[in-house]
Amino acid sequence: MNNSLKRHSIVLLLLMLCVVIGYWGTLDYPFMFDDKVNIVESQAIKIQGLDRESLQQVIDHGVASRRPVANISFALNYYFHGDNVAGWHCVNIAIHIFAGWLVYGVIFQTLRINARLREDDSDPGASSKAAMLTALAVAAIWIVHPIQTQAVTYIVQRMTSLATMFYLLGLFLYIIGRTRKDWSTGFVCYVVAVVAFVLAVLSKEIAITLPLMIALYEWYFFQNLRRDWAKLGLISLGIAGAVMMIIVFGFMGSDPLRSISGGFAIRDFTMWERVMTEWRVVLFYLSLLALPLPQWQNLDHDVEISRALTDPITTVVALVIVVASLVAAGWMARRHRLLSFCILWYFITLALESTIVNLELVFEHRLYLPSVFVVAGIVYAARRHLKVPTVARCAATAVIVALLCFATINRNSVWSSKLSMWEDCVAKSPNKPRSHNNMGRYLAAEGEVEKGMIHLARALEIDKDYKAAHSNIGILYRQQNNYAKAIEHYLEAIRIDPKFVSAHYNLGISYRKTMRLENAIKHYLIAYDLDPYNVQILNNLAIALDMNGETKRAIEFIDKALRVNSKFEMAVKNKTRFENKLKLPPPAPPRPKQPTATTIFQRAMKEQLAGRHQAAVEGFRNAQALGFENQAELNNNLGMSLLVLKAFRKAEAAFRNAIGFDSQFDQAHNNLGASLGQQGRLEEALPCFVEALRLNPDYEDAQKNVERVNAYLDKQKRKP
């Protein structure tokens, strides 16, 4: 191994060590925020094998379907690691390390090329050693900067880090290909660079700017900004632009402007307001890079929307600064070529997410790619203009890297739990509905329903049309058996967004619980059309169909659920139950009074829904006397009304009857436990909750009841 290769290897090891120090403590950090939709609840990525059909399922039905490479990486993570979050974090960290190595490689090559063009022995890239130290400083600062935590620790933002990694790989291979004298090596580099570009775009759309940046890089560093190359350069830029437009049309259809503008209907800002706001946002991003203070970093920034050029006045100020920066980049191109390129890099790589596309206004992970040459420009300028000894420069760089690494560890600590994250967001964005919604949902899930409801109500107070808050409030009401209120909020969420899968699914559950089966099936089917690989939707749709007398059709949907996940226990049990039901001899002709029993039961359900539980109890008993067919469901509902009326022993008897009719009835087991708990018989209640959870591992109420009873019993045991 020659000395040059040895030095580069040491640099790569140092960069890897920096990442390990900054991120090793994050391996047990939970899935967060959009991880839930894209990973935790995404059935499409939960593959059981590596066959073509499974991978095609991921490509076709992943949540972000335009990013199949990222989705495939999620699917592979699930296949090998399941829900073990450490495996997911390890992959993100590995991508970050490789991206950091590519930053080093791109900057090293650029410094050497730039120095040859300048013909200046004092340039930071004049010697291989000087270029190596400068590139190391750039890569080390970039790789440990706390602004990168959102792209690394936030698992779903692998989309950003993966796209950036392939983007930098494509640029690096292009540079290597251009600097090689033998045609064959150069050709291989170009071919692989094209492959890297395709992989980058299919990881996240931000990579569409790569052809433009390569054309610009060619003109700046290989054509020496020659005017006689201008015509060819314009052609190259035109080709790059055409490639970008083809990609845009491919992603957004034949009318991309309509696709873009149409999305603003659900926003509280227009396209023009977004563009104006982004002038301020891109400058705010620079402040985060320059001074990454803990109080400035936030997962859910709340930025004031620019309604006009002077509202707020900083809008026009930001516009002047942005325009002045671009003008300065053109003016200084010949004298300060690298700094000029750095400015253009920043604005071009931010362009897709910071202009007209209908996206959220601010997210820190958007700096992952643009920050590469911003850091390079700052380090290069400092290295060139601050005349200090090499030892002093290295020491200063080491101190900066250490401080940034400490800041990264500190910022990562916020990601250690959902509580710390949402507390951080609410504290920094107190007037943003999403922060309160996420905090409310978390608190409610932890059993602090009243506190959770306060935050959810605050979200609606800020924005009455915030669909997620309506949906989450609906879930809380449903868990309290207040189906009327739950249905009211689900319908409001669907009014706001007719394609809100979760609201349709939960509305279906509420309708099924109140025996409005036709309505339940309708909304389950809508949810299924929107998310056809969700096994929970398929399973619940099948249950509703079976309850509605459509058992054969129910089996069709259970089979679809099992094709997605053959190990889904509830679907396996339901399929067995449905098939056994079809094998039974045909029922005797219904007695004349059977329809009356059904009618009486439905009326009793309405009484229960309205909170008139004494009338509901009478109705359920009358339906029981007339031989209502589904005795398990009847006894369970009878028990719930008796529970509300505090007739705990009678409720207990009703729930035991329900279990007698259907031993697999998870809700009846859970309710039996609740009735025993109300009588102070917690040791008897615990096995009921455990059995409910065994029958349905996703039963949140049962899980909470198990945890609460265990905690209480442990506390009692510790008492002297």
Q: What is the pLDDT of residues 37-80, one digit of tens each?
A: 889 888 888 888 888 888 888 888 787 878 999 999 999 999 99
Q: What is the mean pLDDT of residues 233-259?
A: 59
What is the model's pLDDT at position 244? Answer: 58
Asked whether the beta carbons of 109 and 176 are under 8 A apart, the reply is yes
Reported confidence tier of residue 262, pLDDT bands at 50, 70, 90:
low
Please indicate, yes or no, if residue 52 is contained in any of the structural domains: no
CA distance 94 to 19: 9
pLDDT digits (tens, 9 = 90+) for 523-534: 999 999 988 888
- pLDDT at 168 exceeding the cut of 50: yes
Same-domain pairing of 154 and 301: yes
The per-residue pLDDT for range 404-429, each reduced to its tens digit, is 999 999 999 999 999 999 999 999 99
* DSSP letter assigned to residue 62: S
* Phi, psi values for residue 547, rounded to 5°: -65, -25
- Average pLDDT of the residues in 485-491: 93
**pLDDT number for residue 117:** 78
User: Residues for the chain: how many in total?
Assistant: 720
Is residue 281 located within the same domain as residue 184?
Answer: yes
Which region among 179-193, 252-266, 443-457, 695-709 has the lowest average model confidence (pLDDT)? 252-266
Q: What is the pLDDT of residue 255?
A: 56
State the pLDDT at residue 90. 97
DSSP string, 637-702: HHHHHHHHTT-HHHHHHHHHHHHHH-TT-HHHHHHHHHHHHHTT-HHHHHHHHHHHHHH-TT-HHH
My answer on whether 8 and 154 are in the same domain is: yes
Helix (H, G, I), strand (E, B) or coil at 311: strand
308: helix, coil or strand? Answer: strand
375, 410, 445: which is the final residue of a domain? 410
Residue 594 has pLDDT above 50, yes or no: no
125, pLDDT greater than 80: no
Element (H, E) at 395: helix 390-414
Residue 593, pLDDT > 50, answer no
Q: How far apart are CA 451 and CA 464, in angstroms?
A: 19
In a domain, 79, yes or no: no
pLDDT over 90, % of the chain:
53
Evaluate whether residue 712 is within a structural domain.
yes
What pLDDT score was predicted for residue 568? 82
Whether residue 581 contacts residue 551, with contact meaning beta carbons closer than 8 Å, is answered with yes
Evaluate whether residue 361 is within a structural domain. Answer: yes
E strand map for 23-155: none
The per-residue pLDDT for 41 is: 81
Could you tell me the two tokens for 588? Answer: 């005797």
Q: Has residue 579 been placed in a domain?
A: no
The answer to which of 87-101, 247-261, 609-623 has the lowest mean pLDDT is: 247-261
| CA 59/CA 56 separation, integer angstroms | 5
Write the pLDDT tens digit of every residue in 272-290. 999 999 999 999 999 999 9
| Domain identity same for 448 and 495 | yes
| Conformational region of residue 531, where left means phi above 0, alpha means psi within -120 to 50, and beta covers everything else | beta
Domain stops at, among 493, 508, 531: 531
- CA distances, 493 to each of 113, 474, 501, 524 (Å): 57, 9, 10, 15
From 410, 445, 468, give the residue that closes a domain. Answer: 410
What lies within 8 Å, CB to CB, of 286 at 6+ separation is 374
Number of domains in the chain: 3
Give the pLDDT confidence score for residue 250 in this predicted structure. Answer: 57
Question: Distance between CA 254 and CA 244 in Å, rounded?
Answer: 14
Rounded percentage of the chain residues whose pLDDT exceeds 70: 92
Place of tokens 């580069």: 8
Decide: helix, strand or coil at residue 255: coil
In a domain, 554, yes or no: no
* 348 in Cβ contact with 209 (< 8 Å): yes
Q: Which two tokens stand for residue 576?
A: 């067995």
Q: Count the Cβ atoms, other than its own, within 10 Å of residue 374.
A: 21
What type of residue is 613? Answer: H
DSSP state of 30: P
Residues 331 and 185 in one domain: yes
Average pLDDT, whole number, for the chain? 88
Instruction: Collect all residues with Cβ–Cβ distance below 8 Å to 425 and sequence separation of at least 6.
Output: 298, 299, 300, 432, 435, 438, 439
Counting DSSP H helices and E strands in the chain, the numbers are 34, 0
**Residue from 688, 693, 648 nearest 672 by CA:** 688
Whole-angstrom CA distances from 90 to 31, 95, 314, 479, 633 are: 13, 9, 41, 37, 47
What confidence score (pLDDT) does residue 77 get? 95
CB burial class (10 A; 0-12, 13-18, 19+) of residue 295? exposed
If we measure between CA atoms, which residue out of 660, 720, 667, 661 comes closest to residue 693? 667
| Average of per-residue pLDDT across 110-120 | 82
Region 621-633: mean pLDDT is: 83
The answer on 523 and 464 residing in a single domain is yes
399 and 471 part of one domain: no
Please choose, from the candidates 314, 305, 307, the residue with its C-alpha nearest in 3D space to the C-alpha of residue 287.
314
| Residue 25 confidence (pLDDT) | 93
Q: Which of 70, 214, 167, 164 is nearest to 366 (CA)?
A: 164
Instruction: Kindly report, residue by residue over 328-382, the tens digit of the pLDDT.
Output: 999 998 889 999 999 999 999 999 999 888 888 999 999 999 999 999 999 999 9
Residues 406 and 450 in one domain: no
Q: Are 147 and 290 in contact (CB under 8 A)?
A: no
Q: Are 509 and 478 in contact (CB under 8 A)?
A: yes
Mean pLDDT over residues 462-471, rounded? Answer: 93
- 550 CB burial (10 A radius; 0-12, 13-18, 19+): middle
Q: What is the reported pLDDT for 260?
A: 57
pLDDT tens for 145-154 read 999 999 999 9
Angle separating helix axes 158-179 and 68-81, nearest 10 degrees: 120
Q: Which residues contact 150 (CB under 8 A, 6 or more apart)?
A: 157, 299, 363, 364, 365
Q: Which range marks the domain in which residue 12 is found?
A: 3-30+84-410
Nearest-angstrom CA–CA distance, 240 and 238: 5
Mean pLDDT of 471-475: 93
Instruction: Mark whether 450 and 382 lie in a shared domain.
Output: no
Q: Rounded to whole angstroms, how far apart are CA atoms 602 and 611? A: 14
How many Å apart are CA 322 and CA 319, to the nearest integer? Answer: 5
More confident residue, 153 or 720: 153
What pLDDT shows up at residue 276? 95
- Inside any domain, residue 15: yes
Q: Using an 8 Å Cβ cutoff, are 548 and 521 in contact?
A: yes
What tokens appear for 60 in the block? 């076709």
Confidence at residue 248, expressed as pLDDT on a 0 to 100 scale: 55
CB distance 115 to 126 below 8 Å: yes
Above 80 in pLDDT, residue 555?
Answer: yes
Co-location of 97 and 180 in the same domain? yes
State the sign of the Cα–Cα–Cα–Cα dihedral 456, 458, 461, 463. Answer: negative
Residue 308 φ/ψ, nearest 5 degrees: -155, 175
Do 508 and 630 reside in the same domain of the chain? no
Q: Does residue 588 fall inside a structural domain?
A: no
Sign of CA dihedral 512, 517, 519, 524: positive
Q: Which residues pair with 308 in a beta bridge?
A: 311
Residues 96, 18, single domain; the answer is yes
Among the listed residues 240, 205, 198, 201, the one whose alpha carbon sits nearest the alpha carbon of residue 219 = 240
CA distances from 631 to 510, 598, 621, 668 (A): 20, 11, 11, 12
Q: Output the pLDDT for position 27.
A: 95
Residue with the two structure tokens 């991921």: 58
HEC profile of 38-51: HHHCCCCCCCCCCC
**CATH code for the domain of 638:** 1.25.40.10
The token duo for 452 is: 């959770």
Give the per-residue pLDDT at 111: 93
Task: Determine the pLDDT at residue 98.
Answer: 98
